[in-house]
């Protein structure tokens, strides 16, 4: 006979209780002051690919990877320096769609793919899109 695991999980208590309100207010103040907890940096390489580094505020590198030039969605956004939300709005797609493209779950088709290739090759073209 199998033993069943209780659906309830044990709740452990913290040694010191958290003041979530104070943490939230500090986070809002940090954002307003321009401080960040995590930042993504993109650097273009000679072969057309991009180096993506995710750096924590203490200087620790969380992720360092090479994004191939063939990954048009990420390469296009990397060249512009825009956030996902800003870039999605600029090219007229939902944030979720852009995330799907960047994570490889979906592929852009037709005009969207053409636009991404153009922006990836010449990020300055984005200035014309925003006018």
In a domain, 72, yes or no: yes
The tally of domains found in the chain comes to 1
Could you report the per-residue pLDDT of 12-43, keeping only the tens digit for each? 676 788 899 998 998 888 888 888 788 888 88
The pTM for the full model equals: 0.60
In a domain, 18, yes or no: no
Could you report the per-residue pLDDT of 90-109, keeping only the tens digit for each? 888 999 999 999 888 999 98
Which domain covers residue 73, as residue numbers?
A: 25-129
Q: How far from 23 is each of 12, 16, 36, 49, CA to CA, in Å? A: 21, 14, 14, 39
The residues that bridge with 41 in the sheet, in sequence order, are 53
In a domain, 124, yes or no: yes
In a domain, 7, yes or no: no
In a domain, 74, yes or no: yes
Q: Domain with 77 in it: what CATH number?
A: 1.10.260.40
């Amino acid at each position: 006979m199998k033993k069943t695991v209780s659906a309830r999980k044990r709740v452990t208590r913290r040694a010191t209780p958290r003041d979530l309100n104070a943490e939230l207010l500090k986070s809002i103040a940090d954002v307003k002051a321009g401080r960040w907890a995590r930042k993504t940096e993109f650097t273009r390489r000679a072969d057309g690919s991009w180096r993506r580094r995710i750096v924590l505020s203490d200087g620790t590198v969380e992720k360092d990877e090479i994004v191939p030039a063939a990954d048009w969605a990420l390469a296009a956004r990397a060249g512009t320096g825009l956030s996902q939300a800003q870039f999605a709005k600029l090219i007229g797609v939902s944030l979720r769609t852009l995330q799907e493209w960047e994570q490889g779950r979906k592929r852009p088709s037709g005009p969207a793919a053409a636009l991404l290739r153009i922006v990836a090759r010449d990020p300055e073209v984005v200035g014309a899109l925003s006018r």
